[in-house]
Amino acid sequence: MADNISMEGAQMPQICHMCEENTDIKFKCLDCAFLLCPRCRKLHAKVKTEYVHQIVDMRDERAITNATKTNRVIPIRCEFHEDENYIMCCKSCQQLVCATCIVTMHQKHEMGDMKLINSAKVKKLKKYQDKIDKIILPNISRNYNRCDDLMEFHTKEVDRAKSGIRKWQNYLIKTVAQFVNEDADEFCEQIDNNMEAIKQNILPQLSELDDMKRNIKEIRSEIDRVTSSNDFTQMIYIKKSIKSSLENLNAQKMKERTQYFEFTQSELRIPKLGEMALKTVFHLQCTQSIQTRLACIDKMASYNGKLLVRNLNLKNVCLLKTFNNEIIEKQKWNIDVKDITVLQTGEIIVILFDKTELRLLSKRQHVTSKTIGDCTNIFFDTAPQIPTALHTTRDNKIIISTVETGRDWLPMDNPCTVEILVITAKSELIFRFMFDKNLFCFPNKITSLGTDICIADSISDYSGRLVTLDNKGKVKWTYGDNETNSVIIADMVSTPLCNIVLLDPCQSMLRVLDSKGAFLNSWSLRDFDIANPYAMTISNDEKIFIGCGQVGSNLHILEFRE
Q: How many Cα atoms sit within 13 Å of 230 on the Cβ side?
A: 0
Q: Give the single-character DSSP code of 505.
A: T
What's the rounded mean pLDDT across residues 265-278?
Answer: 79
| Dihedral sign (CA 421, 543, 310, 464) | positive
Task: Assign 7 a pLDDT band (cuts: 50, 70, 90).
Answer: very low
Res. 67 pLDDT band, cuts 50 70 90: low
In the chain, what is the straight-line distance between the N-terminal and C-terminal CA atoms, in Å? 69
- 232-270 in b/e form (b: 16+ CB < 10 A) is eeeeeebeebbeebeeeeeeeeeeeeeeeeeeeeeeeee
Pairing between β-strand 297-303 and β-strand 306-311 as defined by DSSP bridges: antiparallel
Contact residues for 292 (Cβ-Cβ < 8 A; gap 6+):
309, 320, 327, 554, 555
Give the whole-angstrom CA distance, residue 116 versus residue 288. Answer: 48
Q: Identify the burial level of 329 via C-beta atoms within 10 angstroms of its C-beta, where 0-12 means exposed, 13-18 middle and 19 or more buried.
A: middle
**Amino acid at site 364:** R
The band of 3, judged by pLDDT with boundaries at 50, 70 and 90, is: very low
Say whether 30 sits in a helix, a strand or coil: coil
Highest mean pLDDT among 11-15, 59-63, 464-468, 539-543: 464-468
Nearest-Å Rg of the Cα atoms of the chain is 49
What is each CA distance from 217 to 232, 248, 534, in whole angstroms?
Answer: 21, 15, 114
Asked whether the whole model's pTM tops 0.75, one would answer: no
pLDDT in tens, 479-506: 986 655 678 899 999 988 788 999 999 8
Could you tell me what percent of the chain has a pLDDT over 90?
A: 30
| CA atoms within 13 Å, Cβ hemisphere of 226 | 15
Quick: pLDDT tens for 282-334. 778 898 898 888 888 999 999 888 899 998 888 889 998 876 667 788 888 88
Of 425, 418, 427, nearest in space to 446 by CA: 418
Round the average pLDDT of the chain to a whole number and report it: 82
The answer to whether 286 touches 553, Cβ cutoff 8 Å, is: no
| Closest to 553 in 3D by CA, of 535, 531, 537 | 531
**Cα 109 from Cα 92, distance rounded (Å):** 6
For the chain, give the percent of residues with pLDDT over 70: 85
Give the pLDDT confidence score for residue 159 in this predicted structure: 94
The confidence score (pLDDT) of residue 4 equals: 46
